[in-house]
Amino acid sequence: MRLIHLYHDLMNLYGDYANVAAMRRLLEKSGAQVTVDKVPLGGDIQLDGCDFLYIGSGTERNMRVALEDLRRCTDALRAYIDSGRVLLLTGNAFEMLGNSITDAHGVRTEGLGLLDFAVTEQNKTRMTADVVYHCDFLTQPLVGFVNKCSDIRGVPTPLFTVEMGLGNTENDRYEGVRVQNCFGTHLTGPVLIKNPHFLEYLAGKLLGAPPQTAWMTHERAGYEVTLHELRMREGAER
């Protein structure tokens, strides 16, 4: 099993390396032999033979630097998504896949154009929130934190429905994007640490069978506490 952590040195704003570490640990405990390729800015991006590709979150400046570097792989990345292999992008990383990113001064940067949406940034204030999200492929909601300065409009196939917190725009009922096995979300935490059931779901896609998860008792307990506390807080604020 080959995992690629792309731009681990540039797009690691919220300890995003832990998402890859969690995936590797679960796959190995399920009997898989795993290699992790950490590819830095300007490095050799070889998607052939890659089973799981991950890009984490970065500052707006770093995201644009990553975007310019990733342009050389647009066709390969399109083929990777079309093949149904697993791609996870957290924080603002998934914004690179859209048609355009317009900054707070109106300067427009072309995105990779792999997915049909547009991003607009603002510099008045960052939008932050604890969140609870739902999706149609998991019975339990997801929890975490969002910190962003962007509105994302035109997403054809959102990933999550919002129970609590922010969507693709401030008052949107939907968040993130999903196309086949390409998952993009602003949810951080890191997301696979906070949500062991999401980790299990993605690992199952890689393994072609349910992973071995009997050992994940502390991870599940931590998730239940977080979900309970967030819902208690939401109820108190109403």
Tokens of 79: 């083929």
How many CB atoms are located within 10 Å of the residue 209 CB?
Answer: 11
CATH 3.40.50.880 fits 2-237, yes or no: yes
- Residue 234: band (very low, low, confident or very high) from pLDDT cuts 50, 70, 90: confident
In the predicted structure, residue 53 carries a pLDDT above the cut 80: yes
The candidate with the shortest Cα–Cα distance to 210, out of 80, 22, 32, is 32
How many CB atoms are located within 10 Å of the residue 92 CB?
Answer: 30
pLDDT of residue 235: 76
Tokens of 13: 């704003």
The candidate with the shortest Cα–Cα distance to 47, out of 22, 70, 24, is 70
Dump pLDDT digits (tens) for 121-146.
Answer: 987 778 999 999 999 999 999 999 99
User: In terms of C-beta density within 10 A (0-12 exposed, 13-18 middle, 19 or more buried), how is residue 112 classed?
Assistant: middle
Tokens of 83: 């093949």
Dump pLDDT digits (tens) for 212-226.
Answer: 999 999 999 999 999
pTM confidence score: 0.96
Q: What percent of the chain has pLDDT over 70?
A: 99
In the predicted structure, residue 164 carries a pLDDT above the cut 70: yes
Q: Count CA atoms closer than 13 A to 111's CA, side-chain side.
A: 21
Tokens of 48: 């052939």
**Rounded CA gap, 71 and 126, in Å?**
27
Tokens of 137: 């492929």
In the predicted structure, residue 26 carries a pLDDT above the cut 70: yes
Dump pLDDT digits (tens) for 87-96.
Answer: 999 999 999 9
**C-alpha triplet 83, 209, 82: angle, nearest 5°:** 10
Residue ranges of the domains in the chain? 2-237
70: left (phi over 0), alpha (psi -120 to 50) or beta: alpha
- Residue 238: band (very low, low, confident or very high) from pLDDT cuts 50, 70, 90: low
